[in-house]
Structure 1
Amino acid sequence: MAAKQGLGLDNLVDVLKAAGESTRMRLLALLAVGDLTVTDLTEILGQSQPRISRHLKLLAEVSLIDRYQEGAWAYFRLTAEGAGVALVRDLLSFADPGDAVLARDAARLSTLKQSRSEKAQAYFSRNAAGWDELRRLHVSEADVETALKQVVGPDPVDGLLDLGTGTGRILQLFEGLYRRGVGVDASRDMLAVARSNLDRAGITKASIRHGDIFNLPLDDHQFDLVVIHQVLHFLQQPEAAIAEAARMLSAGGRLAIIDFAPHSVEHLRDEHAHLRLGFSRQTMAEWLDKVGLRVEQIVDLAPEQDRGGQLTVTIWLARNHRQVVLADLTPGDRTVAAAGRT
């Protein structure tokens, strides 16, 4: 078992100074259970925006919270890693949930989440008819999810990245598998739906980010499992998205792609903005091999003919083989290998 990460005396004092103030402790308690904006926090705490921003700056300076931009909005959440955050979580565990101030904050947060949920559901309802029409063309989502879980397997992963997260369903489906999850989507409407669904499911170890699938706002090699679920057929350059996904994979990490096999349902181009009418096994294997990923498993799910199905759903699972090889080499062997590539 790895030794518990500790803090030097100066860092320990800095963390305790930053957290040891009532407003900042309230902020940490709120940010431990979800992503919130300064506006959200001012509404919950009933304090001015400059005051809240100043407290957030102090917490960020000791790496207790993360800040990320989503258009004109900046979101904050408790940092996922680090001894300082571990200490803060321990401190929060001693807080009395019946404390009047904390209980009022929790109630206001609940009201805020309910408002989010209503807005998200309104968007979802406006688009549900089109999605239902598409679902009738292929095997049920339940069958796809069952097959995907079988392909991925039961072994836990440290980090899960869901690209084109949509409703956040993948983050919910694998909630028991990952320690930290991130969902990325280009649609702010869908991000609102995903956040609402995670709130409703009580999932706090996953965060939602606005981002471009071709230029992700994330560091390299941070995820053991990356999922691209029914996204590639919307893209002009799906192979570029696969390359970006490969960049995210840790040594030995896996990429799961769920999309359609080649088909001839032309009306999907105009009615559902599909740019690609499915992908062949050979094409997908070539794209994956080009970025150092080796296909380990392919599963085809035939359409349900009794429902008028016309689309076969395919699941590809590939592993970051190139990095596994390098990770297994000794430092001396890595030098030799590098020399051999020049």
Structure 2
Amino acid sequence: MVDAQGLGLDALVDVLKAAGEPTRMRLLALLAAGDLTVTDLTEILGQSQPRISRHLKLLSEVALIDRYQEGAWAYFRMKNEGAPVRLVQDMLSAASRSDAVLARDSERLVALKRARAEKAQAYFSRNAGEWDALRRLHVSEADVEAALKTVVGNDPVDALLDLGTGTGRILQLFEGIYRRGIGIDASRDMLAVARANLDRSGTSKATIRHGDIFNLPLDGQAFDLVTIHQVLHFLEQPEAAVFEAARMLAPGGRLVIIDFAPHGLEHLRDEHAHVRLGFSHATMAEWLERAGLSVEDVVDLKPDSDRQLTVSIWLARDRRAADPKVNDNTGAGDVERTRYAQAGRN
């Protein structure tokens, strides 16, 4: 139930007014299940776009939903936290599962997600051969994931950020430990794949967003765990991405980077668009140190005789929790982070 001190009388009445209307309650039920556009919502509810947009504006004004832009599209989702959200969640849980209107909306949502998944799968299938060829060069994904889970551990995480989320696999892998998750990717095709995968697995605590890894559309110092899985070797300035990732960390937060150790497979530049042929421990340690992080663990997953690439996992922690002086936002560490983040945007 909603905590008695969560809302004052006026705020409580405002939330009840906003939610207490049939269309808006239907919208909240749908947005509690994932990210949807106005077009998606008009298709499901059978109402006009201006009408749906007006309802969404009212729900946004009382802090019940989030809106974020992805190119020409705007996505909406019910917020993860806050007293207004907890109140609405209680209201939705009281709704009858046999209600004809809500049941029809749910059926239409399932059909929409199925169509979205089929479109995403078509893109994934077109590129599967290329991805499979690369996977054959290093240890199995199962081994990488097992090592990654060991490095991260099982302690609860309030907020997880996955940069270059791709298929959304990291968000699925760690669903059991985070309260809310965000996956960022620059490819809208991959975002469609990730959304479809999250829908299929029933991962409801995570959201997917379009964004630039060098200039993230998020507030800094907001995440306890940030992951960068097999992304840095595609970048011209991977160190700038590391600094931007560090900017996202809350004091004491952790950054996990998964990428290749140095190698000599030059054909990966042309065949798979790799810009960097792996990263040494010394290079990664230098970048992390300059970003205000301390390396806590490094794991190398060496290939067997038939494979050629070593996968490395670096775990680093933001030092500000250990050293209060580093909390000063004008400190050298933050100056360095800003400089490298700006370099990545130019």
Could you state the TM-score of these two structures normalised by the residue count of structure 1? Answer: 0.94
Other-structure match for 2:300 = 300
Deviations 1:132-166 (A, max 9, x none): 00001000000000000000011010001000000
Decide whether aligned partners of structure 1 residues 103 and 220 sit closer, same or farther in structure 2, where only a CA change above 3 A counts: same
- In structure 1, how many angstroms separate the alpha carbons of the residues matched to 2:223 and 2:158? 7
In the TM superposition, 1:238-249 aligns within 5 A as 238-249=238-249
Offset, 1:325: 1.9
Decide whether aligned partners of structure 1 residues 323 and 187 sit closer, same or farther in structure 2, where only a CA change above 3 A counts: same
Deviations 1:190-238 (A, max 9, x none): 0000000000001111000000000001111111000000000000000
The letter of the residue matching 2:161 is L
Other-structure match for 2:230 = 230
Other-structure match for 2:124 = 124
Native 8 Å contact 1:221 1:251 kept in 2: yes
Deviations 1:235-288 (A, max 9, x none): 000010001100110111000000000000000000000000000000000000
Decide whether aligned partners of structure 1 residues 327 and 20 sit closer, same or farther in structure 2, where only a CA change above 3 A counts: farther
Other-structure match for 1:17 = 17
Other-structure match for 2:136 = 136
The letter of the residue matching 2:308 is Q
Decide whether aligned partners of structure 1 residues 5 and 314 sit closer, same or farther in structure 2, where only a CA change above 3 A counts: farther
Structure 1 counterpart SS, 2:192: helix
Offset, 1:92: 0.5
- Aligned partner (choices 303, 309, 320) of residue 322 of structure 1: 320
The letter of the residue matching 2:92 is L
Offset, 1:324: 3.9
Native 8 Å contact 2:319 2:326 kept in 1: no
In the TM superposition, 1:1-342 aligns within 5 A as 6-305=6-305, 308-326=306-324
Offset, 1:81: 1.6
Native 8 Å contact 2:320 2:326 kept in 1: no
Structure 1 counterpart SS, 2:116: helix
- In structure 2, how many angstroms separate the alpha carbons of the residues matched to 1:87 and 1:256? 35
Structure 1 counterpart SS, 2:6: coil
Structure 1 moving runs of 4+ over 6 Å = none
Structure 1 counterpart SS, 2:323: helix
- In structure 1, how many angstroms separate the alpha carbons of the residues matched to 2:116 and 2:147? 32
Native 8 Å contact 1:225 1:255 kept in 2: yes
- In structure 2, how many angstroms separate the alpha carbons of the residues matched to 1:266 and 1:204? 40
Deviations 1:163-202 (A, max 9, x none): 0000000000001010000000000000000000000001
- In structure 2, how many angstroms separate the alpha carbons of the residues matched to 1:301 and 1:314? 6
Native 8 Å contact 1:251 1:327 kept in 2: no
Q: CA RMSD in A?
A: 1.8
- In structure 1, how many angstroms separate the alpha carbons of the residues matched to 2:114 and 2:293? 42
- In structure 2, how many angstroms separate the alpha carbons of the residues matched to 1:89 and 1:325? 40
- In structure 1, how many angstroms separate the alpha carbons of the residues matched to 2:152 and 2:76? 31
The letter of the residue matching 2:49 is Q
Native 8 Å contact 1:64 1:79 kept in 2: yes
**Bigger mean CA deviation after superposition, 143-152 or 315-324:** 315-324
Unaligned runs of 5+ in 2: 335-346
- In structure 1, how many angstroms separate the alpha carbons of the residues matched to 2:5 and 2:177? 24
Decide whether aligned partners of structure 1 residues 238 and 25 sit closer, same or farther in structure 2, where only a CA change above 3 A counts: same
Could you state the TM-score of these two structures normalised by the residue count of structure 2? Answer: 0.93
Structure 2 counterpart SS, 1:259: strand
* Residue correspondences, number: 331
Native 8 Å contact 2:26 2:102 kept in 1: yes
The letter of the residue matching 1:192 is A
Native 8 Å contact 2:160 2:182 kept in 1: yes
